Amino acid sequence: MAEKGKEPPKSGPAKVPSAAELRKLGAQREAAKAAEADRQIEAEDERKKKLLAELSARKVTPDRMQNAVRILRELAAAGQNEVMVLRFPNDLCTDGGRAINNSEANWPQTLKGFPREIYETWAKEFKDKGYRMTAKIVDFPGGKPGDVGIYMSWD
């Protein structure tokens, strides 16, 4: 700001940047965007690693079973007949979710870790009581199969 009583200095004509300078500015912006995208990918990879470790170690416990039965009753009372039991990265399938994506009958055999335990619990505790279990790919990041959802339904 100009002081009281003083005129601001007059500037000369605006300096026109060269095309190379503008290209450099554009390249800097693109590099910043790429670096941010890389940071987001790294953060997502780290989240996924933690989730995979957690799901590989998780077990079906009596408390989890009791909670599941409570949720089933609440959903049925609310008029629902299906619930997503678990959403997990396709890395917990031996084929990356290919059998699930293609609706192959052997999809349960591709499950690993906690998803496999969920399926085995359904087969042992729920199947003979009329419950159905299905699985499907629930997202397609970059056009490729992503997370898997396991659903249990009843009529």
The string of pLDDT tens digits covering residues 71-90 is: 999 999 999 999 999 999 99
CA–CA separation, 49 vs 81, rounded Å? 33
Q: Contact 112/92 with Cβ under 8 angstroms?
A: yes
Task: Give me the DSSP letters along 69-130.
Answer: HHHHHHHHHTT--EEEEEEE-GGGBTTTTHHHHTT-TTGGGGB-HHHHHHHHHIIIIIGGGT
pTM for the full predicted model? 0.70
State residue 1's pLDDT score. Answer: 54
In terms of Cα–Cα distance, which of 128, 131, 120 is closest to 155?
131
pLDDT tens figures, 116-131:
999 999 999 999 999 9
Interval 11-65: pLDDT, tens:
778 899 999 999 999 999 999 999 998 898 888 888 888 888 888 778 999 999 9
Average pLDDT of the chain to the nearest whole number? 90
Neighbours of 137 (CB within 10 A): 19
What tokens does 84 get?
């997503």
